[in-house]
Structure 1
Amino acid sequence: MKNTISLILCLSILFFLLSCNKSSMENNEKIENNKISLVENSNLRLPTKSQFASVSQVIGTSDIFISYFRPSVNNRTIWGDVVLWDSLWRAGAEGASTFRISNNARVGGKPIPKGDYSFFVIPRKNLPWTIIFNKNINLFGIHLYDENEDVLRFDADAINSPFVETMTFTFSKVNSYSTILKLSWAEKTIEIPIDFDKTTSWNNIKKFIENNEQPDSLLWRDYLSIGNYCVFTEDKDYALYSMGLIDKSLDIQETFENLKIKSDLYAVLSQYDSASKYAKDAHALGSTTGMPLHVANLLEENIRKYNSLNIDNSNLPRE
């Protein structure tokens, strides 16, 4: 009987101690959960193994922005080892790489709406690599990646290239409508063409003029700026449109600047006799109004060039 009572007493004490310990642990957990993390709520920056980077590029009136973490080779075999063949790769390290475009575009020859995307690659040993744009940008690496959220997939060739220790995104062949995005790491590079619609800028220009072309609203310099944009695009259709804008600029105030742009526009249209005439007019007016020396030299060079070409293209409208 005494043994039974002793056993019951011991078990009761043990149960009481366990209950107290559990209660203490729960209280400690509550206290811990209610505490504010000093690290998470401070300005302390902790380094990451791979360093964060971003690269951006303006294409005409469109913006491309890429953010990513940059892994290094560190004497490792990258392709087929660190990055497995035929497997989804985050195209970087740490969090997934992200890609932002401000206007609708064609990437890899396929249309993609403006917006923000995560960026993935499936490397293949002897076949083109698969490039993926996914609409979920809140991914850490490939965790929670869902193929159903892919917005765009296409194939691109991976070419052998000079060794790159730390993974890098760069832009090449940049103009006002397109560029080539390059991803380079170790001894491989993939090139991704990105193209924007040429009409995007001109639709914006035409809309701007329609909304603002009231009496005395636009200055001669406003028309000049648009005409100057057309000159470096070297597009004949837009040159014809801009010619009318430069005439409006000249109607407001004749300057060596807008005379020069009119000369340049005629050169875009291959009407070199008219281009020479307006270059001479610009030089003559500029000589009396404080034209900078480098502009005078450029006009003189253009006059000689246009006179030597002197091409009469009868298929294009003439003044």
Structure 2
Amino acid sequence: MKKTALLLGLLVLALTGAFTKASAQTFRGLDKSPMDMAYYPDDYAHDRKFAPAKIGSDKLVARVTYTRPAKNGREVFGKLVPYGKVWRAGANEAPEIKFYQDVTIGGKKIPAGSYALLTIPNETEWTIILSSDLDQWGAYSYNQALDIARVNVPVQKSEAAIENFSIQFAKKDAKNATMYVGWDTTMVAVPVGL
């Protein structure tokens, strides 16, 4: 009887150990550039959760999913991000912008759908690119033939340095919004017609 109990106990321990080893999972650490989302209307997700009645008049128009690298004392534009070359607008994967309705970007008609958001930064203006090539890492596989639209917008200087790359929408009027893209002391304002 003692041998049976001992054998049963050892069997349980062995099975428990095997289960623990088989189910153990390791996760990689936090990404240096965290992922974020920007909505139009701004704070749409927050407002929908806490004030659902408000949403009826402000339908979701756009959402951008992007990563936010930090300046970390580096010279960003012209150095870390070269002028005149296609850039993924952030870090890691190229941002994905989803329009829930047809819009215009800089006067160009954009059908509802999801697009990669890329840019070509220069000192005085940026080219904003919407591409149908989603899920690309960086801009290494960029193919201009897949562009849906290109719009040039002037560069503005921000009053204070923006530590983390940022995208935010703001309402201009009932028919127009602005998508702000900024990092370091550089900012661009992209007109969005609703």
The one-letter amino acid of 1:75's match is G
Alpha-carbon distance between aligned partners in 2 of 1:63 and 1:155, rounded to the nearest angstrom: 22
Deviation for aligned residue 1:55: 1.4
User: In the alignment, which residue of structure 1 is the partner of 2:54?
Assistant: none
Deviation for aligned residue 1:144: 1.5
Alpha-carbon distance between aligned partners in 2 of 1:61 and 1:73, rounded to the nearest angstrom: 34
Deviation for aligned residue 1:143: 2.2
Bigger strand fraction: 2
Deviation for aligned residue 1:60: 3.9
SS in 1 for 2:141: coil
1:44 and 1:152, CA in 2 relative to 1: closer, same or farther beyond 3 A?
A: same
RMSD: 2.1
User: In the alignment, which residue of structure 2 is the partner of 1:56?
Assistant: 39
User: In the alignment, which residue of structure 2 is the partner of 1:151?
Assistant: 148
Q: Is the 8 A contact 2:39 2:60 kept in 1?
A: no
Deviation for aligned residue 1:108: 1.5
Deviation for aligned residue 1:174: 4.6
Bigger helix fraction: 1
User: In the alignment, which residue of structure 2 is the partner of 1:169?
Assistant: 167
1:62 and 1:178, CA in 2 relative to 1: closer, same or farther beyond 3 A?
A: farther
1:267-316 per-residue CA deviation (whole Å, 9 max, x = no partner) reads: xxxxxxxxxxxxxxxxxxxxxxxxxxxxxxxxxxxxxxxxxxxxxxxxxx
User: In the alignment, which residue of structure 2 is the partner of 1:108?
Assistant: 106
Alpha-carbon distance between aligned partners in 1 of 2:101 and 2:170, rounded to the nearest angstrom: 19
Rg larger in structure: 1
Q: Is the 8 A contact 1:172 1:180 kept in 2?
A: yes
Q: Is the 8 A contact 1:117 1:133 kept in 2?
A: yes
User: In the alignment, which residue of structure 2 is the partner of 1:138?
Assistant: 135
Q: TM-score, normalised by structure 1?
A: 0.46
Alpha-carbon distance between aligned partners in 2 of 1:83 and 1:182, rounded to the nearest angstrom: 18
1:119-152 per-residue CA deviation (whole Å, 9 max, x = no partner) reads: 1111112x42111000111101112211100000
Alignment of 1:1-319 (within 5 A): 44=27, 46-58=29-41, 60-125=58-123, 127-162=124-159, 163-196=161-194
Count matched residues. Answer: 157
User: In the alignment, which residue of structure 1 is the partner of 2:6?
Assistant: none
The one-letter amino acid of 1:89's match is W
Alpha-carbon distance between aligned partners in 2 of 1:164 and 1:134, rounded to the nearest angstrom: 26
Q: Is the 8 A contact 2:179 2:192 kept in 1?
A: yes
The one-letter amino acid of 2:37's match is S
Q: Is the 8 A contact 2:40 2:170 kept in 1?
A: no
Structure 1 gaps, min length 5: 1-37, 197-319
Deviation for aligned residue 1:175: 4.2
Q: Is the 8 A contact 2:62 2:98 kept in 1?
A: yes
The one-letter amino acid of 2:99's match is I
State the identity %. 25
User: In the alignment, which residue of structure 2 is the partner of 1:234?
Assistant: none
Alpha-carbon distance between aligned partners in 1 of 2:110 and 2:193, rounded to the nearest angstrom: 10
SS in 2 for 1:148: helix
